[in-house]
Amino acid sequence: MSTIFRRALCAAVPLIASLPVLADDNQRSANIESIVVTASPLSNDPDKIAAIVGQVGRDQILRTGGATIADALADVAGVTGTSFAGGASRPVIRGFDSNRVRMLEDGIGTFDVSEVGPDHGVPVDPLAAQSIEVVRGAATLRYGSQAIGGVVNTINNRVPMELPKQAFTGEAAATYGSSGDSLEGSAMVDALTGNFAVHADAFARHTGNYDIPGGTQPNSFFRGDGFSTGGSYFFGDNRIGAAVTHYDAK
């Protein structure tokens, strides 16, 4: 009997030792909180989730006026300009300027010397733009380390990205300002012929020195003009296009 009792006791000891462990595991399972994960079946644009975007449309560009992209973005929160001169005012986003703000035209860098010197202007005129976008937040990482402050993307239709809905559309605008006798005008045309879309635009600015008490402010004048013509051929979901652009400013 003693041998049988010892064998039974030896078999029962591991079982008894495991009981607290089983009880502890059950207690831990009872304390685990429920985690609910909700997903949307609709696709989302990652730029809208990861970025703060401010946009200025064509109508607001014409109403705001100004000779530079910074002037056109004057009403966007968090955006100002260097205001070095009438034709040289690069956007400043939340205190970041020069090469910390990436300047793009249709997603391609302008690659101008205004990145290293505020006395140079950005070679993109707002009169030729359909809209201007300001991108801030995490999405700026897609544009490289130079975009630490933000991205300003000027969008135009010089290389048509889609077929126009009408065979012919056009617009023309002109303004005059009494301070400095500023005069500016622009014209824009889009046409459709079969699968071929054509775009053309032109603009000109002439601003004298600003009037100040007792005379005028020297070297505050601005001259600028430019034009572009381009087109795209569409075949199925694909397209091929090109444009020729001229910009001159003083």
Residues of the chain with CATH 2.170.130.10: 46-155
pLDDT tens, residue by residue, 85-130: 778 889 999 888 888 899 999 888 888 888 887 788 888 999 999 9
Distance in angstroms (rounded) separating the CA atoms of residues 88 and 66: 11
pTM confidence score: 0.74
Quick check: 232 pLDDT over 70? Answer: yes
Higher local confidence (pLDDT), 219 or 3: 219
Q: Is the separation of the CB atoms in 121 and 68 below 8 Å?
A: yes
Quick check: 2 pLDDT over 70? Answer: no
Tell me which CATH code domain 46-155 carries. 2.170.130.10
pLDDT tens, residue by residue, 151-174: 999 999 999 988 888 899 999 999
DSSP 123-159: S--GGG-SEEEEEEEGGGGGG-GGGSSEEEEEE--SS
CA atoms within 13 A on the CB side of 29: 6
pLDDT of res. 13: 47
Distance in angstroms (rounded) separating the CA atoms of residues 221 and 108: 29
pLDDT tens, residue by residue, 40-74: 565 566 555 556 678 899 999 988 888 889 989 98
pLDDT of res. 246: 94
